[in-house]
Structure 1
Amino acid sequence: MQKMKNLYYTFLTLVILGNVHSQNSQLNRARSEYEQLYYVKSSDIFLKVAEKGFKSQELFEKLGNALYFNNKMEEANKWYGELLNLYAATVEPEYLYRYAMTFKFMGNYTEANAWLDKFEALKKEDLRIKSYKEGSFDFKKEDKDITLINLPVNTQYSDFGSSVHKNTLYYSSPSVKESAKEYSWNEQKFLDIFSVSIKEIKVGEILLGKPKGYFTDINSKFHESNITYFNDTLVYFTRNNYYNNKRHKDSKRTNQLTILKASVRDTVNIKPLPIAIDNKEYTIAHAVFNAQKSRMYFSSDLSGRGKSDLFYVALDKNGEITGIPVNLGVKINTEGKECFPYVSEEGDLYFSSDGHYGFGGLDIYRVALFDKKVNSAAAETIVVENLGKPFNSASDDFAFITLENGNLGFLSSNRKGGKGDDDIYFYSRKCSATLSGLVVDKQTQEIIPEATVNVFVDGVLTQSLTSDKLGQFTYPVECNSKYLFKGEKEKYLPDEKNLVTGTQSLSYDVKLELEQDIKPFRLGDDVNQILDLGIIYFDFDKDDIRPDAAVELQKVIEFLKTYPDFKITVNSHTDSRGSSAYNLKLSRRRNASTIKYIIEVGGIDPSRIDGNGYGESMLLNHCSDGVKCTDAEHQVNRRSEFIINKP
Structure 2
Amino acid sequence: MKWNIFLIMFLTVANFCFAQENRSKADNYFYGYEYQKAIEAYIKEAKKKPLSDAQRLNLADAYFKMGAYENASKIYMDSNKKDTIMSVHRFNKMLQSLSKTSDRERVVTFLKTKSSSLTSELLENATFNYELMSGGEANLSFDLFNLSINSPQADTSPAFYKDQLLFSSSRHQDNKNTYVPTGEAYLDIYTAPIDENGGVSNATTFSKIPSSNFHKSTPFYSEKLNNIFYILSNTNDGEMAFDDNWKNALAIGVVSSSGQFRFLLKDLSTSFYYPFFDAESERLYFAANFDDSYGGTDIYYVTTNNGQVMSAPTNLGPRINSPGNEISPFLFNGDFYFSSDVFYGLGGMDVYKSTVMADGGHSIPVNLGEGINTEKDDFGFIIKERGNDTYSGYLASNRAGGKGGDDIYGFTINGIPGLKTFALRGKAFNSTSGTGIGQAQITIQDTTGAVIIESYSKADGSFSLEIPWQEGVTITASKEKHSVFFMALTPDEMKNVQESPFEIGFVLLDDLVEEREEQTVLKLNKFYFDKGKSIVNTAIAAELDKVVETVRKFPEIRLAIASHTDSRGGSSTNLKLSQDRSNAILAYLLKQGVSQTNIIEALGYGEEKLTNKCVNGAYCLEFLHKQNERTLIKVMR
- Aligned with residue 366 of structure 2, among 352, 366, 385: 385
Structure 2 vs 1, CA of residues 169 and 88 (structure 1 numbering), >3 Å: closer, same or farther?
same
Structure 2 vs 1, CA of residues 52 and 76 (structure 1 numbering), >3 Å: closer, same or farther?
farther
Structure 2 vs 1, CA of residues 75 and 126 (structure 1 numbering), >3 Å: closer, same or farther?
farther
Q: Does 1:180 find its partner at 2:169?
A: no
Distance 2:267 2:75 in 1: 40
- Aligned with residue 310 of structure 2, among 310, 322, 329: 322
The alpha carbon displacement at 1:274 in A equals 1.2
Distance 1:230 1:424 in 2: 21
Q: Does 1:257 find its partner at 2:244?
A: no
The alpha carbon displacement at 1:283 in A equals 1.9
Residue of structure 2 equivalent to 1:619:
none
Q: Does 1:295 find its partner at 2:288?
A: no
Residue of structure 1 equivalent to 2:632:
none
Distance 1:3 1:100 in 2: 19
- Aligned with residue 380 of structure 2, among 380, 387, 399: 399
The residue correspondences of 1:477-488 to structure 2 (distance < 5 A) are none
Q: Does 1:153 find its partner at 2:140?
A: no
The residue correspondences of 1:71-470 to structure 2 (distance < 5 A) are 72=66, 74-81=67-74, 84=77, 88-89=81-82, 91-94=84-87, 95-105=90-100, 109-113=104-108, 116-117=111-112, 120=114, 123-125=117-119, 128-135=122-129, 136-139=131-134, 141-143=136-138, 144-201=140-197, 206-215=198-207, 218-231=210-223, 233-242=226-235, 244-264=237-257, 269-270=259-260, 272-275=261-264, 277-292=265-280, 294-302=282-290, 304-306=292-294, 307-317=296-306, 319-344=307-332, 346-355=333-342, 357-369=344-356, 373=358, 378-379=359-360, 382-404=363-385, 407-430=391-414
Structure 2 vs 1, CA of residues 188 and 77 (structure 1 numbering), >3 Å: closer, same or farther?
farther
Assess if the C-alpha contact under 8 Å between 2:278 and 2:284 holds in 1. Answer: yes
**CA displacement, residues 486-514 of structure 1 (integer Å, 9 cap, x when unaligned):** xxxxxxxxxxxxxxxxxxxxxxxxxxxxx
**CA displacement, residues 553-585 of structure 1 (integer Å, 9 cap, x when unaligned):** xxxxxxxxxxxxxxxxxxxxxxxxxxxxxxxxx
Structure 2 vs 1, CA of residues 338 and 358 (structure 1 numbering), >3 Å: closer, same or farther?
same
The alpha carbon displacement at 1:254 in A equals 0.7
Distance 1:329 1:97 in 2: 17
Assess if the C-alpha contact under 8 Å between 1:300 and 1:308 holds in 2. Answer: yes
> Letter of the aligned partner of 1:234 in structure 2?
N
Assess if the C-alpha contact under 8 Å between 1:100 and 1:111 holds in 2. Answer: no
The alpha carbon displacement at 1:255 in A equals 0.8
Structure 2 vs 1, CA of residues 426 and 154 (structure 1 numbering), >3 Å: closer, same or farther?
same
Distance 1:338 1:166 in 2: 27
Assess if the C-alpha contact under 8 Å between 2:10 and 2:271 holds in 1. Answer: no
The residue correspondences of 1:500-579 to structure 2 (distance < 5 A) are none
Distance 1:154 1:103 in 2: 33
Distance 1:159 1:294 in 2: 29
The alpha carbon displacement at 1:385 in A equals 2.2
Q: Secondary structure at the match of 2:122?
A: helix
Structure 2 vs 1, CA of residues 343 and 124 (structure 1 numbering), >3 Å: closer, same or farther?
closer
Distance 1:422 1:53 in 2: 35
Distance 1:50 1:110 in 2: 32
The alpha carbon displacement at 1:401 in A equals 0.7
Distance 1:96 1:294 in 2: 35
Computed over aligned residues only, the root mean square deviation of the Cα atoms, in angstroms, reads 3.7
Residue correspondences, number: 401
| TM-score for both structures, normalised by structure 2 | 0.55
**CA displacement, residues 465-486 of structure 1 (integer Å, 9 cap, x when unaligned):** xxxxxxxxxxxxxxxxxxxxxx
The alpha carbon displacement at 1:184 in A equals 3.1
Distance 2:380 2:8 in 1: 14
Structure 2 vs 1, CA of residues 132 and 382 (structure 1 numbering), >3 Å: closer, same or farther?
closer
Distance 1:221 1:114 in 2: 50
Distance 1:235 1:330 in 2: 29
> Letter of the aligned partner of 2:408 in structure 1?
I
The alpha carbon displacement at 1:210 in A equals 0.7
The alpha carbon displacement at 1:399 in A equals 0.8
**CA displacement, residues 248-299 of structure 1 (integer Å, 9 cap, x when unaligned):** 323322111110112355xxx44x4311x42223222211112437221111
Distance 1:107 1:164 in 2: 40
> Letter of the aligned partner of 1:221 in structure 2?
N
Distance 2:94 2:208 in 1: 43
> Letter of the aligned partner of 2:219 in structure 1?
I
Distance 2:136 2:115 in 1: 30
> Letter of the aligned partner of 1:411 in structure 2?
L
> Letter of the aligned partner of 1:348 in structure 2?
D
Residue of structure 2 equivalent to 1:2:
2
Distance 1:383 1:239 in 2: 32
- How many percent identity over aligned positions? 22
> Letter of the aligned partner of 1:7 in structure 2?
L
Assess if the C-alpha contact under 8 Å between 1:93 and 1:122 holds in 2. Answer: no
Unaligned runs of 5+ in 1: 13-18, 433-647
The alpha carbon displacement at 1:162 in A equals 0.7
Structure 2 vs 1, CA of residues 131 and 91 (structure 1 numbering), >3 Å: closer, same or farther?
farther
Distance 1:213 1:80 in 2: 43
> Who wins on radius of gyration, i.e. which is larger?
1
Distance 1:140 1:422 in 2: 30
The alpha carbon displacement at 1:323 in A equals 3.0
